[in-house]
Amino acid sequence: MVEVKKITKSILKDVIRKRPADSFKGTYGKIVLIGGSQNFGGAIIMASLAAVYSGAGLVTTVTDPSNQASLHDWLPEAMFVDWNKFDQAEPIIKAADVIVIGPGLGTDNHAFDMLTKVFEIVSKGQKLVIDGSALTLVAANNMKLPTDSLNILTPHQMEWQRVSGIKIADQSPENNQAVAKQLNAIVVVKSHRTQVYANDTIYENTGGTPAQATGGMGDTLAGMVGGFTAQFKDTPKAVLAAVYSHSAIADKLAEKQYVVMPHQISESLPKFMHKNQAE
Ligand SMILES: NC(=O)C1=CN([C@@H]2O[C@H](COP(=O)(O)OP(=O)(O)OC[C@H]3O[C@@H](n4cnc5c(N)ncnc54)[C@H](O)[C@@H]3O)[C@@H](O)[C@H]2O)[C@@H](O)CC1
Ligand SMILES: Nc1ncnc2c1ncn2[C@@H]1O[C@H](COP(=O)(O)OP(=O)(O)O)[C@@H](O)[C@H]1O
Ligand SMILES: [Mg+2]
């Protein structure tokens, strides 16, 4: 039996630091989020909201132009780039600390082309969060993950089945770890008790509620993983803190709500992080 470490509240003070007085938006990372087709615009808006509300310094959303007005209605803090104008997106993607690709991306040819181009241009030192449709595209087209970036995959169990080839019933810690090692990535397998595979160590979350079983909940986590890894140096720990915070906020809201809306998690983040920061 392999050891599975619990993700507990102690991860928060380990990761979330009091902000130095002498800092500016550049200190907290540049993040680009790519996704949101005409039909799935909400997904990239929810992910972008989570990135800004978890404290990322500068956020750019690359999406279908039909989403621009709603994006800015929800989030004037985000910059917008039309995903049909890749020449405009390319320098911003190249300059980013973190790229999140996949929420609501869809799986058509345009989505595949964009994912292919992003995999080509990411470079050393960048973190790449691969979620949702991007994982489905990777699996369907047998795409190799980029080797220069630090890759973080955030599949739900069915996406993980597609990417890893392991059937949901067989997704044991041992089996999952073997594929996570081959992929040389941090893998977040989302479920009632989400597991994280990082640096040969397996972690299991201790929170989470069925009140979270609503579309957009994973898109929100992807944005949080982006926001946390953009700001906090230790990437595996930042991922663990994002996973823990996402469920801890939901558990608290679920004490008084039957269902928790993904945007409510984002809206709770600034106060939650304030309360749980280390001096
Ligand atoms: N408002 C929006 O715009 C939304 C857009 N979304 C986007 O829609 C695209 C497709 O993602 P979906 O996940 O909906 O569809 P997928 O087809 O990729 O996955 C859903 C399938 O997986 C199965 N499944 C098995 N175990 C599961 C688990 N633990 N969690 C979730 N599903 C499990 C489900 O039964 C279902 O058949 C993604 O790009 C996603 O980001 C969704 O996030 C929903 C909300
Ligand atoms: N019953 C549950 N208990 C705990 N967490 C859950 C439960 N159902 C869903 N979640 C969480 O909600 C998120 C769902 O992710 P995902 O399926 O990718 O959603 P979407 O793509 O619709 O945004 C994951 O973080 C998962 O852990
Ligand atoms: Mg998802």
Q: What is the mean pLDDT of the chain?
A: 98
Q: Is 194 in the pocket of ligand 2 (CB under 6 A)?
A: yes
Ligand 1 is surrounded, with C-beta below 6 A, by 40, 42-43, 102-105, 132-133, 136, 156-159, 168, 191, 215-216, 218-219
Around ion ligand 3, residues with a beta carbon closer than 5 Å are 132, 218
Pairwise CA distance, residues 213 & 112, whole Å: 28
- Closest of 168, 96, 166, 104 to residue 137, by C-alpha: 104
What are 201-238's pLDDT values in tens digits?
Answer: 999 999 999 999 999 999 999 999 999 999 999 999 99
pLDDT for position 116: 98
- Closest of 26, 12, 10 to residue 231, by C-alpha: 26
What are 173-187's pLDDT values in tens digits?
Answer: 999 999 999 999 999
DSSP-derived 3-state class of residue 59:
strand
Amino acid at 172: S
Number of independent structural domains in the chain: 1
Its pTM surpasses 0.95: yes
Say what angle helices 157-164 and 173-183 make with each other, to 10 degrees: 60
What are 138-182's pLDDT values in tens digits?
Answer: 999 999 999 999 999 999 999 999 999 999 999 999 999 999 999
Cα 77 to Cα 1, 48, 74, 125, distances in angstroms: 47, 10, 9, 25
What are 117-135's pLDDT values in tens digits?
Answer: 999 999 999 999 999 999 9
DSSP structure string for 219-245:
HHHHHHHHHHHHH-S-HHHHHHHHHHH
Q: From ligand 3's centre to the CA of 278, what distance in Å?
A: 31
pLDDT for position 92: 98
Q: From ligand 3's centre to the CA of 62, what distance in Å?
A: 18
In terms of phi and psi (left: phi > 0; alpha: psi -120 to 50; beta: otherwise), the region of 235 is alpha
Q: From ligand 1's centre to the CA of 277, what distance in Å?
A: 32
> H or E segment at 5?
strand 4-7
User: Which residues make up each annotated binding site for AMP?
Assistant: 190-194, 218
What CATH code is carried by the domain that includes residue 53?
3.40.1190.20
Pairwise CA distance, residues 113 & 251, whole Å: 39
Domain that holds residue 21: 4-275
Q: How many H helices and E strands in the chain?
A: 11, 10
pLDDT for position 259: 98
Split at pLDDT 50, 70, 90, the class of 279 is: confident
Q: Is 37 in the pocket of ligand 2 (CB under 6 A)?
A: no
Pairwise CA distance, residues 236 & 199, whole Å: 8
Amino acid at 117: K
Pairing status of strand 195-198 against strand 186-189: antiparallel
The residue-averaged pLDDT of 261-272 equals: 98
